[in-house]
Structure 1
Amino acid sequence: MLVKRLFITANLVVLMVPFLARGVQDSVQPSQRLDPTIQKIVSEISADRIAEIEKKLESFGTRNVLSDPTQPNHGIGAARQWILDQFKSYSPRLEVSFDTHVIPKRGRVWKDVEIRNVVAILPGKMKEATSRWIMIGGHYDSLNLRVPPEMRGDREKAAEIPAPGVSDDGSGTACAMECARVLSQYEFDATLVFVAFAGEEVGLVGSRALAKRLKEKNQTVQALLNNDIIGSEISGNGVIDNRRVLVFSEDPNDSPSRQIARYVKKIGERYYPEMNVDMIFRYDRFGRGGDHTPFNQEGFPAVRLTTPNENYANQHTPTDTFENTSPSFAAKVTRINAAAAASLAMAPKAPVTSRPAPLPGSDAAIAAAAAAELEEAAPRPPQTGPGLSRGKGYDAVLRWEYPDPEPDLAGFIVVVRSTMSPDWEREIWAGNVKEFTLKNTSIDQVVFGVKAVDKGGHESPVSPYVLVPRAR
């Protein structure tokens, strides 16, 4: 009874939050009706086209990154050239190129090898579009671990054995390509990037190299939606489930990646209610990883979309074929991707609820350290946020920053949830203001966030109010 009572109390705090904000009458909340453009985008995703892509990828025999890249119709080289040509055929507005890296011999990479991610960029129309990338990806390389005994001493021959890799991960590649085909017919505020990653099967080497390169260039990635194994609706034990997709996101509970997972769930289910988006609160399947992992490690928000029904008997074998996959299921997951990516690219940027800590040795850092010495509790690392305070003692006062607002910005929505809740439970229209007060509301018992919304009703991801852990 104690647990139940605590849960009810926490939710009552959320449900009974009073509505009071300075300047709340300054603007009118835009309608949250469905955007007809996004509805049209979702309807244009084709299961037949996804099937065609999967069959073509299977036809290359293998897409092992260590296979012969010079063959015109077989192996990794033929596959990546075909993907490049397909991207180019979708729209002249797509900027298509190879993202090339030389990977030295190590681990599963038994020789120095050149790998090529295939990248298609759809530039956004806003002036800050180059600093806001929304990415959709899947890996096009494949692997067959069932090497015949007579080839186990000959790595060159072993790299050429059939590795169809249709579910893992021709399905994710098909998702990225089909999204590129459809979305490239529209204009967006932010930049959309479609990627077919190479080298996932030999240690995430392609995504790792690209993430590192983007970090070095100070590129802002608002989200990576990584699709890996979205081609199967039947698990190895016979369970069929074609109404759910899993979205994995890294801890902690209010990490940027977790906010993207919540966004994918909300927008995906709004525009494609035939599917349930189930959030899984860990970075990937137990003890495993994917091409979103290096992006997380470089500080970019990234999530993995995958089937709830893996068939382990087919993975990395010659039986991961088109016959053993479901393009209709892959199309459903692709519609979730398209809706979420389009909404992100149409939406305003997210508000700033906290700023980075001042540089060590700076005046701000010295002042913060001096102030910390006056605290009886252990001091926090120097920082200037979050913008959450108690007001006169018993209120919740939220402040945020929003430099260079978009011309169509309508205002901001404050979101609230219990500390035990996986998702936001209440939304409150704050108006076009940068401060919001909830009277008689404890900041200790709930979690707060804020998001921007434009006049068309497109919402940014939530910026939560979080603290840096205390120094121990």
Structure 2
Amino acid sequence: MKRLFWVVVWFSLVSLACSLSSSDEPTILPTLPKETSTPQPPLGYATPLPGTVEGQVNTEQQQQQIDVALFNLLNQVESDRLVMHVQTLVSFQTRHVNSSQTDLNRGIGAARNYIADQFEQIQARSNGRFVTFQQPFTLTFNGITTQQHNIIGYIQGTDTGAGVIIVGAHYDSRTYDLRDAEAYAPGAVDNGSGVAAVIELARILSQNPLRASVMFILFSAEEVGQAGQGGVGSQAFVNNYLLANGITPDQVIGMINLDTIGNWDGPNGEKNDTDIRLFSSPPNDSPARQLARSINFIAYNYRLDLNVILQDQIDREGRFGDHNSFDNAGYAAVRLIEAVEDTNSREGDDVFEGLEPAYLEKATRTVLGIIAALSSGPQPPQNIVLRDNGDGTSSLVWEPTFDAERYIVGLRRPNSMIFNQHFTVRENFTAGWANTNWQQYEAVAIAAVDSRGYIGRFSAEYKIP
């Protein structure tokens, strides 16, 4: 039976790799910006801009439609479920990679079984939309060799050619002494909160078809990774699955790492229950930063529960996460983490009582809104050109996007992490605008919006000449 199980898993992996690397790959959709790290001013509206759409497209009606759809979707997040997942993970006492693999009530094996069972329940209720399997890999840590497992869920998108978005979190934990596999290591916020959110996202998103494909991964062995390299489990996934199957960075829209998203308290009594930080690797035109800018805009535009605040580095100083593994291999990858951290309440003191369920619910709702847009909006425009009109003005022109009713044009000034200005047009071009106005900006990116009001991801940036 064990041999048969791994044969089934092998076929699942091969089938999934083929679906992502074939010419008929499922679409992955994008969604984007809000605001940046050190509070930067929100997108501006006062400057006259070319081709504004007022009166041409009923954007107010579309906004009402998307507001209702998002309201209904986000209200499916159940705080009790999130709390139950964190409580259960904490009850295993430790999820250290060298803890028990066979004890049903303690250790990383018990955690793996619980997560796998949750994904199997989601699969059973998904009408065939959600498939789950595990990726085993070998780990040697502190002189002990074990077999660890990444637990994976996958929703195949309905559209072709758009790739996949990956949402991940690590489920292992640690105590103060990283080598101690037996000490209490509850890991409630780091990273029971991220695991709970991923399970809840998979449950909700598996209930309806998505244009784009979405992959949910719970990684083992993040805590025993190395700064700058990422977690061991995520490295195994990147090397032994993505790269081994020829899945290139242009087929993966991006990886969103949910790591430590369950508390709003800082170390000195401060509280921040309105923001969430988003880390991405510089410079401002890197694939990761462009993905972050899209996420920022989406959260801003849809007025999601938490303000997404961009940070000008891949992670906190000297720290790392599973997104590093993807970023190092050229995949766009970002990390979401709570706005302030009480680092005194980590490792052995990361107990359930330190969880703020209301903040975890807000964070999960925010990510759900982002993923819903990424997986439901049109694909981004291609072949953007700034065309000189010969009269001191220029117009942006691009290829029309299938299913686009209108377009959002985002403008970024030099050295800015976010879009500083945006405007909406109906056609695949803008009216003429003075060349001196265009030259105030370093780059432009364009997103398509469908008739339901779903914003797709922004295009790759076009540098203004």
TM-score (normalised: structure 2): 0.79
**More off after superposition, 388-397 vs 79-88:** 388-397
Once the two structures are TM-superposed, the CA of residue 295 in structure 1 deviates from its matched residue by 1.4
- In structure 1, distance between residues paired with 2:329 and 2:395: 32
How many residues are aligned here? 404
The residue aligned with 1:415 is 410
Match of 1:58 in 2: 90
User: How far off is 1:461 after superposition?
Assistant: 2.1
Distance 1:394 1:209 in 2: 54
- Counterpart in the other structure of 2:76: 44
Identity across the alignment (%): 31
- Show the 5 A alignment for 1:298-447: 298-316=329-347, 318-353=348-383, 387-388=385-386, 390=388, 392=390, 394-401=392-399, 405-406=401-402, 408-433=403-428, 435-436=429-430, 438-442=432-436, 443-446=438-441, 447=443
Q: Deviations over 1:244-265 (max 9, x none)?
A: 1111122121333223323333
Q: What does 1:68-467 align with in structure 2 at a 5 Å threshold?
A: 68-90=100-122, 91-92=125-126, 93-103=129-139, 105=140, 110-128=143-161, 131-146=162-177, 158-203=180-225, 204-212=231-239, 213-216=241-244, 217-218=246-247, 220-271=251-302, 273-316=304-347, 318-353=348-383, 387-388=385-386, 390=388, 392=390, 394-401=392-399, 405-406=401-402, 408-433=403-428, 435-436=429-430, 438-442=432-436, 443-446=438-441, 447-466=443-462
What one-letter code is carried by the residue in structure 2 that aligns with 1:112? T
- Decide whether aligned partners of structure 1 residues 54 and 69 sit closer, same or farther in structure 2, where only a CA change above 3 A counts: same
Shift of residue 17, structure 1, vs aligned partner: 3.9
Superposition deviation, residue 289 in structure 1: 1.4
CA contact (8 A) 2:266 2:342 kept: yes
CA distance in 1, matches of 2:176, 2:44: 54
Whether the 8 Å CA contact 2:44–2:421 is kept in 1: the answer is no
- Contact 2:158-2:210 within 8 A present in 1 as well: yes
User: Hey, what's the Cα distance between the residues in 1 that align with 2:113 and 2:311?
Assistant: 35
Alignment of 1:5-44 (within 5 A): 15-19=47-51, 28=57, 31-33=62-64, 34-44=66-76
Q: Deviations 1:15-68 (Å, cap 9, x if unpaired)?
A: 244439xxx99x847533434332212111122111100000011111111222
Distance across 2 between alignment mates of 1:62 and 1:13: 51
SS class of match (1:231) = coil
How far residue 271 of structure 1 moved from its aligned partner, in angstroms, is 4.3
Q: Secondary structure at the match of 1:303?
A: strand
C-alpha distance in 1 between matches for 2:439 and 2:398: 19
Classify the secondary structure of the residue corresponding to 2:223: helix
> Which portions of structure 1, spanning 4 or more consecutive aligned residues, are displaced by more than 6 angstroms?
11-14
Distance in 1 of aligned mates of 2:96 and 2:304: 37
Residue identity opposite 1:333 in structure 2: A
Q: Single out whichever of 459-468 and 118-127 deviates more from structure 2.
A: 459-468
In the alignment, residue 135 of structure 2 is paired with which amino acid?
D
The AA in structure 1 aligned to 2:316 is: R
Distance 1:12 1:267 in 2: 15
Alpha-carbon distance in structure 2 between the residues aligned to 1:12 and 1:423: 11
Q: 1:343 to 1:53 in 2, by over 3 A?
A: same
Deviation of the 1:306 alpha carbon:
0.7
- Partners of 2:326 and 2:332 within 8 A in 1: yes
How far apart are the structure 1 equivalents of 2:375 and 2:449?
12
Q: Report the Cα distance in structure 2 between the residues aligned to 1:55 and 1:12, rounded to whole angstroms.
A: 43
Secondary structure at the residue paired with 2:435? coil
- Computing the radius of gyration over CA atoms, which structure comes out larger, 1 or 2? 1
Mark the CA change 1:270 to 1:65 in structure 2 (over 3 Å): closer, same or farther. same
Q: In structure 2, what is the Cα distance between the partners aligned to 1:339 and 1:298?
A: 27
2:44–2:420 CA contact under 8 A, matched in 1 = no
Cα distance per residue 1:286-330 (max 9 Å; x no partner): 2211111111222222211111221212222x2111012212211
Q: Provide the rounded CA distance (Å) in 2 between the counterparts of 1:448 and 1:270.
A: 17
Over 3 Å counting, the alpha-carbon distance change for 1:161 and 1:13 in structure 2 is closer
Closer, same or farther in 2 for the Cα pair 1:242/1:390, shift >3 Å?
Answer: same
- Greater relative CO, 1 or 2 (CA 8 Å, sep 6+): 2
Unaligned runs of 5+ in 2: 1-42, 226-230
Rounded Cα–Cα distance in structure 2 between residues aligned with 1:295 and 1:436: 36
Q: 1:88 to 1:252 in 2, by over 3 A?
A: same
Alpha-carbon separation, structure 2, partners of 1:338 and 1:13? 27
Report the counterpart of residue 7 of structure 2 in structure 1.
none
Is this contact kept in 1: 2:304–2:366, CA < 8 A?
no
How many angstroms apart in 2 are the aligned matches of 1:43 and 1:272?
14
Normalised to the residue count of structure 1, the TM-score between the two structures is: 0.78
Output the aligned Cα RMSD: 2.9
Asked whether the equivalents of residues 225 and 337 of structure 1 are also in contact (C-alpha less than 8 Å), the reply is: no
CA distance in 1, matches of 2:214, 2:300: 21
CA distance in 1: counterparts of 2:444 and 2:392, whole angstroms: 15
